[in-house]
Amino acid sequence: MCVTVLALLASAVSMATGGRHCDPAGGCAQNDSNTHHATKQTNDTCAVWETPHTTHLENLQISSRHFIDAFPLDAAGTSVRTVTNGVFSLSAPTPLRGPLTLVAVSKEVLEDILDLDLSVLQSEDFVHYFSGGKPFPGSVPLAHRYGGHQFGYWAGQLGDGRAHLLGEYTNKDGERWELQLKGSGKTPYSRSGDGRAVLRSSVREFLCSEAMHYLGVPTSRAASLIVSDEPVWRDQFYDGNVTKERGAVVLRLAKSWFRIGSLEILTRSGEVDLLRKLLDFILEKYFPTIQSNDPDKFLVFYSKVVNETAQLVARWMSVGFAHGVCNTDNFSLLSVTIDYGPFGFMESFDPSFVPNWSDDEGRYSMGQQANGGRFLEFFKAKLGLLGHDEKDEDLIAFLLKLMEDTHADFTMTFRQLSELSDHQSFLGVHPQVHLLQRILRWPFQEQAAAEAVGYAAQPPAWARELKVSCSS
């Protein structure tokens, strides 16, 4: 597992507790899918619908009040700068220029999370609301300040350089979701960037976040992908070859966008009072099972994040996923997968698999993500090994070594062991993206449409030369 990430979290929590330390293996509650679900609200500015779905986008009430009331707010404008004494900066999205095209939507996110009827897709305002061109009622867009260690080195202030937190929505089931635009323009944290995202990386984020959800891996979700004709210039492989690409915006959702780097930046800058305030806010809002009067509440929180992050990385490995940039600015405090940059899924089983072309030292290779106990737990489940047998570990190790030696396809090996079959049909907003989206919803079942286009076949020879970098 990315041990460095968790060691740096310990440093931040230690400062907040006045220098006390804790054992990451102790004092941790059992993993519970409801742990991070805040209790249902009775007095809140967020709306809870009386009817199943709304057909009017202006009824989607978003609230930024929790964040604005809780912390000092940086309101010095959108110029790039070093921010102090703040967790958020006021920052409005910059609308995409040119005609906008809806590439894809997640029906489940719109209906089940945002309580929207699919008829809203017919509204001319949809692409404007969901790309940042038109504000949702109640939304006060914010950019989050955080830092991070990148490839082992402190990178200083990072923050939401091309993302805007629109606010929080409480749906009819009482679930709280934070809505964020990615690729929506410059903020105080953009550094030398243009605040935009390109279509190729946006398609990858949209599809993979939804695929991970259906694979059973905790993840952010993607509601929509909108593309424009606005030119965005990128040096994809940092070789001086700058090319023109199309700008795109993804509306994504998570229970929280706070990450380890949210604490690190305050630790590094010595803002201890604000660090404690942020930790108290996070515990009250996202970890209600941790008692506010517990003198060891920060240590309990630390142990919980350590254990659940280890669980998350083990889940990644069980489906052949490598994140590519296991930096502290990319690790959620709620232990969900966020920030899909240069990720990858293994084809042939290879512990040295590196999905990030920029990671020439292999720091974040598949094998470097490993965490023994939890890794074995998930592989036992994949193989249907019930109970406890001392020989299970040897069996799994033997299988993986055999797969490595024979260059066996990771996904197809387990598929052929299970031989499930169920045929699905497909309809799409955008044929290619939506076809993939529908296929990824049923990752463990055989699908006629996927078979027909050869998605289950061995990757073609030219695919071995594909490269993905941090450029997006």
Domain membership of residue 357 (yes or no) is no
The dihedrals phi and psi of 344, each to the nearest 5 degrees, come to: -165, 155
Tokens 């309990």 belong to which residue?
A: 300
Whether the CB-CB separation of 429 and 103 falls below 8 Å is answered with yes
Hey, what's the torsion of the CAs at 51, 55, 57, 58, to 10 degrees? -70
What pLDDT, on the 0 to 100 scale, is given for residue 6?
Answer: 60
- Range list of β-strands (E), 261-328: 321-322
- Range list of β-strands (E), 203-290: 221-234, 243-254
Separation between Cα atoms, residue 30 and residue 151, nearest integer Å: 31
Domain membership of residue 162 (yes or no) is yes
**Catalytic residue at 115?**
no
Whether the CB-CB separation of 449 and 336 falls below 8 Å is answered with no
**Residue 273 CA, distance from chain mean position:** 28
SS3 272: helix
Q: Which amino acid, one-letter code, is at 209?
A: S
Separation between Cα atoms, residue 113 and residue 253, nearest integer Å: 9
Residue 337: DSSP 8-state:
B
The dihedrals phi and psi of 454, each to the nearest 5 degrees, come to: 85, 20
* Domain assignment of residue 98, given as a range: 62-280
Long-range CB pairs of 75-79 (<8 Å, 24+ gap) are: 76/188, 77/188, 78/186, 78/187, 78/188, 79/188
The dihedrals phi and psi of 410, each to the nearest 5 degrees, come to: -60, -50
- Range list of β-strands (E), 183-220: 197-198
Residue 255: DSSP 8-state:
S
Domain membership of residue 94 (yes or no) is yes
Domain membership of residue 159 (yes or no) is yes
Domain membership of residue 243 (yes or no) is yes
Domain membership of residue 104 (yes or no) is yes
Domain membership of residue 69 (yes or no) is yes
CA distance to 105, 413, 447, 453, per residue, from 428 (Å): 9, 30, 16, 16
Among the listed residues 203, 162, 163, the one whose alpha carbon sits nearest the alpha carbon of residue 179: 163
Whether the CB-CB separation of 143 and 163 falls below 8 Å is answered with yes
Which pLDDT tens digits describe the chain residue by residue (472 residues)? Answer: 555 666 667 677 667 766 544 443 333 333 333 333 333 343 343 434 345 689 999 999 999 999 999 999 999 888 999 999 999 999 999 999 989 999 999 999 999 999 999 999 999 999 999 999 999 999 999 999 999 999 999 999 999 999 999 999 999 999 999 999 999 999 999 999 999 999 999 999 999 999 999 999 999 999 999 999 999 999 988 889 999 999 999 999 999 999 999 999 999 999 999 999 999 999 999 999 999 999 999 999 999 999 999 999 999 999 999 999 999 999 999 999 999 999 999 999 999 999 998 898 899 999 888 766 688 889 998 888 888 888 999 999 999 999 999 999 999 998 888 764 444 333 334 667 878 888 888 888 888 888 887 888 887 776 777 777 777 7
Instruction: Spell out the residues 6+ positions from residue 244 whose beta carbon is closer than 8 angstroms to its own.
Output: 231, 232, 233
Whether the CB-CB separation of 206 and 104 falls below 8 Å is answered with yes
Residue 348: DSSP 8-state:
B
**Count of structural domains, the chain:** 1
Q: Crossing angle for the helix pair 297-318 and 272-286, nearest 10 degrees?
A: 60
CA distance to 181, 372, 456, per residue, from 318 (Å): 30, 12, 19
Residue 328: DSSP 8-state:
G
Domain membership of residue 321 (yes or no) is no
Give me the catalytic one of 115, 160, 329, 339: 329
The dihedrals phi and psi of 64, each to the nearest 5 degrees, come to: -105, 5
Separation between Cα atoms, residue 380 and residue 389, nearest integer Å: 10
Among the listed residues 444, 396, 441, the one whose alpha carbon sits nearest the alpha carbon of residue 421: 444
Q: Which amino acid, one-letter code, is at 374?
A: R
SS3 322: strand
Separation between Cα atoms, residue 117 and residue 113, nearest integer Å: 11
